[in-house]
Amino acid sequence: MAKVAVLMGSPNDRQKMQPAVDTLERFGVEADVRVLSAHRTPAAVAELASSAREQGYSAFICGAGMAAHLAGAVAANTTLPVIGVPLSGGALNGVDALYATVQMPRGMPVATVAIDGALNAALLAVQILALQDDGLAEALSADRAERAAAI
């Protein structure tokens, strides 16, 4: 079974990140949910990211608001795919987090979804995993058909 780390910078972010967890689980992908901060627990972030491949992780989804350095701190310590979810809140309502997440330096890619776009982050992770898993690819096709039928 594939495993994706779903990280958030604060326990207060759990509700905004829950759609990622729910979506991963719906596709049968294990979601390892953790609260880690790029600023308050940088050593723990680096340890998880640098050992993730050996621990069986396939990707990271990182949600953070304001300065939103979590996805970048993870990307600096792993070669696994990292998907950033800028979270709303603070004076700029997520625009600051969007800029922080999308403006990564050359050589440190972080795929970035919309502000509070945790569901899309999970779908992107599943699409990445589906490159090597025909069952996930079929489930994604069925999901797309269901979404189209619901319109």
Interval 28-57: pLDDT, tens = 999 999 999 999 999 999 999 999 999 999
Calculate what percentage of the chain has a pLDDT beyond 90: 97
- CB-based contacts of 43: which residues, under 8 Å, 6+ apart? none
The string of pLDDT tens digits covering residues 71-82 is 999 999 999 999
What pLDDT, on the 0 to 100 scale, is given for residue 61? Answer: 98
Is-contact 27 59, C-beta < 8 A? no
**pTM above threshold 0.85:** yes
What pLDDT, on the 0 to 100 scale, is given for residue 1? Answer: 78
Q: Which domains does the chain have, with CATH numbers?
A: 3-149 (3.40.50.1970)
Average pLDDT over residues 112-131: 98
Angstrom distances, CA of residue 87 to CA of 8, 9, 12, 17, 90: 10, 10, 11, 9, 9
